[in-house]
Amino acid sequence: MINRINNINRRWFLQSMACASAGLFVSPTLLAANHKARELAFVHTHTGEHLKIQYSDEYGYFPDALAEINYFLRDFRTGVVHSMDTGLLDILNDIRLGMSENGVFEVISGYRSPKTNESLRANGRGVAKHSLHMQGRAIDIRLTGVDTLQLRNYCISMKCGGVGYYQKSNFIHVDTGRVRSW
């Protein structure tokens, strides 16, 4: 039990220091939320698949749940599965807690293989050559019951990575890269 408490305190300390060293302010509420059960609900707009899953608790991540999420967020065009950044999942959990606790993330794009990324670039879709999607560090989403512009503004206020807004297609991009918005 003491080791678990020390791990929790160590994890909180490391998260706090990581945010502080990046010049970010993270509220104690968000840090506290990271110590509780973290869960996400998804529907994939291209495959029609649904997933509702708890992927971690105060003691750590659940490998089987992460594997399910990785499969769900695979490159649906090629079937390639890639590990998703747990930091990205935690950002999504924080978004869910802050915007719509019962909301479901509508996934437009999770992981993209280099082949898919290049194909989308060649078709003039505004896709970055070195997209963080190819590293499992980005996702394009909507959140049920939340206006996309409101979602964008909330995500920008979190200052946890990149946020892109695609008004015509009605989705936002969230990633674990440097803090920026477009």
Query: 45-103: per-residue pLDDT in tens?
Result: 999 999 999 999 999 999 999 999 999 999 999 999 999 999 999 999 999 999 999 99
Closest by alpha carbon to 31, among 98, 100, 94?
A: 94
Percent of the chain with pLDDT over 90: 75
Q: Is the pLDDT of residue 144 over 60?
A: yes
The predicted model scores a pTM of 0.80
Determine the Cα–Cα distance for residues 110 and 69; give it in Å rounded to an integer: 10
DSSP annotation of 133 reads: G
Q: Which residues contact 17 (CB under 8 A, 6 or more apart)?
A: none
Query: 108-130: per-residue pLDDT in tens?
Result: 999 999 999 999 889 876 788 89
Determine the Cα–Cα distance for residues 82 and 43; give it in Å rounded to an integer: 18
DSSP annotation of 161 reads: S
Q: Is residue 73 within 8 Å of 49, Cβ to Cβ?
A: no
Q: Where are the beta strands (DSSP E) in 45-95?
A: 50-57, 60-61
Confidence at residue 125, expressed as pLDDT on a 0 to 100 scale: 66
- Structure tokens belonging to residue 151: 């979602």
The upper half-sphere exposure of residue 122, i.e. CA atoms within 13 Å in the direction of its Cβ, equals 6
Architecture of domain 36-181: 2-Layer Sandwich (3.30)
For the chain, domain boundaries: 1-35, 36-181
Residues belonging to the chain: 182
By three-state DSSP, how is residue 48 classified? coil
Q: In the chain, count H helices and then E strands.
A: 6, 8
